[in-house]
Structure 1
Amino acid sequence: MNIENKVIVITGAARGLGLAMAKTLAKEKGQLALVDTNIEALKIEQQACLELGASKVECFKADISNEGQVVKLFESIVAHFGKVNGLINNAGILRDGLLVKAKDSHVQDKLSLSDWQSVINVNLTGVFLCAREAACQMIETQSEGVIVNISSISRAGNFGQTNYSAAKAGVAAMTVTWAKELAKHNIRVCGIAPGFIATEMTASMPQEAIKRAEAFIPLGRMGDSDEIASTVKFIFSNDYLSGRVLEVDGGARI
């Protein structure tokens, strides 16, 4: 797909990976629908994307775990742009914790149902809802489409991330399923499983924790958000790529 003038929806676009993706696609002259719960932050980045070359940029506030809001979101996007060509399912949250924390045979804490459910609601159900509504709009407007789901190498299972790992494994499975179902509608579906990426979230980690993480990465460093964004661009541009989850992790394996 030639990105120029194509309408691409990016969730979680106010910062981190989502913002990097928006700026990369802006340089390709795409039309961007930026989605986040922080509308003020989106509006700050709107002008930056226009200055980088985006042909049109609109900002939308939505909770992607809320079905009604997601349905209205994509109706509003089509009302503004006339169609949807791409979706990047990027929005996500963390609520890390051990399944059970115990010492000397005494249970001190356990992963709460609320922490489990909040991550599943956003990272899994939100991806499902956005992809469903994007696909509906692509089909009804007879637009070629690309859906990119952001998974994680944690989908293989990661210490302290029962909820996050389960959600990201589900995202990877849905990616393959949708690629098979939607191909007949001229819609491709791919995923990206980032490794340890330098973002605002990781910047808040203690330096010792960052050094320990980097020691397990064969390339010896964290990834850059622009390296994930360039992978998104590659997926959009390669019309024979579908049903695959690309691991961009510096050679790391959890």
Structure 2
Amino acid sequence: MQLKDKTIVITGGAQGLGLEMARMCAAEGAKLALIDMNAEQLAAAKAELAASTTVNTYSANVADESEVEAIFSQIDNDFSGIDGLINNAGILRDGLLLKYKDGEIQSKMSLQQFQSVIDVNLTGVFLCGREAAAIMVKRQRKGVIINMSSVARSGNMGQTNYAAAKAGVVAMTVTWARELGRYGIRVAAIAPGVIRTAMTDAMKPEMRERLEKMKPVGRLGEASEIAHTAKYIFENDFYTGRVVEIDGGISM
């Protein structure tokens, strides 16, 4: 699928990887529907991208079913259909399952800490993917859904909640590819490693150096490299039901 004149929805699209993927789509001539909870960042993203393409922004919590249904209905009305979705919205609430010291349990990951990540990173992907697919099928338009997973899906210390959610995203990706292929809808996932962001830039030099040395390529990933991967998935009509790992070789 070529992106020119296609309508692409991006959740978490006003910042970070979502905004970088929005820039890529805009450069390819796609029309954009950006969903985010930060109204200020949505306004800034629209101001940046509106010079090159049509951009509408929507404030919504992807973990809230009624909000997701309303927003996707509005997007469908505004753009007369959807051609692609990048399920990018996500949060972190890292912490060990438990901390034990001096014969006592010092702390445990709370249910709220676990559930909040599942709600956004897994349930949110489910809700947005369901609504996007329903619009594509109803309008009889072939489309592409890209779900953001992570190399942490295989398990990572301090990320019980995040790893569980990202593993679930991969399982949904494969399932949807099999279910929706009959309608001409492809579904794939991207599993980034550590990508350079404002957060990693603020790390102590020794911590950043340690992360860089863990990777065979000797550096962190760039947001533009994730956007390039999304472009590949959109354009390769034979790619579905698979996960692209963009991690610099850290998970070999």
TM-score (norm 2): 0.98
Cα distance in 1 between the residues matched to 2:127 and 2:242: 20
Please name the residue that 1:186 is paired with: 184
How far 1:170 sits from its partner (Å)?
0.3
| Pairs within 5 Å for 1:1-254 | 1-51=1-51, 53-54=52-53, 56-253=54-251
SS of the aligned residue for 2:156 comes to coil
CA drift at 1:203: 2.9
**C-alpha distance in 2, partners of 1:77/1:150?**
21
Identity over aligned residues, as a percent? 53
Paired AA for residue 184 in structure 1:
R
- Name the aligned partner's letter for residue 235 of structure 1: I
Taking the aligned partners of 2:79 and 2:199, their CA distance within structure 1 comes to: 32
Q: Deviations over 1:63-91 (max 9, x none)?
A: 00000000001000011100000000000
Give a deviation string over 1:193-247, Cα, whole Å, max 9, x none.
0001011233343332222222211111100000000100110000110000000
Q: What SS class does the counterpart of residue 239 from structure 2 fall into?
A: coil
Q: Whole-Å Cα distance in 2 between the matches of residues 206 and 79 of structure 1?
A: 47
SS at match of 1:97: coil
The one-letter code matched in structure 2 to 1:182 is: L
Amino acid at match of 2:42: L
Report the alpha carbon displacement of residue 104 of structure 1 after superposing the two structures with TM. Answer: 2.7
Counterpart of 1:133 in structure 2: which amino acid?
A: E
Deviation at 1:105, TM superposition (A): 2.6
Query: Post-superposition shift, 1:59?
Result: 0.3
- Residue aligned with 1:40, SS: helix
- SS of aligned partner of 1:191: strand
Structure 1 letter corresponding to 2:248: G
Aligned-partner SS, 2:17 = helix
Deviations 1:28-53 (A, max 9, x none): 010000010012211111122123x3
Shift of 1:107: 1.1
Which secondary structure state, in structure 2, belongs to the residue aligned with residue 29 of structure 1?
coil
Give the SS at the match of 2:72.
Answer: helix
CA RMSD of aligned residues (A): 1.0
* Aligned residue type for 1:50: A
Runs (5+) with no aligned partner, structure 2:
none
In 2, the alpha carbon distance for the partners of 1:218 and 1:113 equals 37
CA distance in structure 2 between the partners assigned to 1:201 and 1:76 by the alignment: 33
* Residues in 1 aligned to 2:163 and 2:145: alpha-carbon distance in whole angstroms: 21
Instruction: Single out whichever of 203-212 and 158-167 deviates more from structure 2.
Output: 203-212
Distance in 2 between residues matched to 1:198 and 1:132, nearest whole Å: 31
TM-score (norm: length of structure 1) = 0.97
- Aligned to 2:5, the other structure's residue is in SS state coil
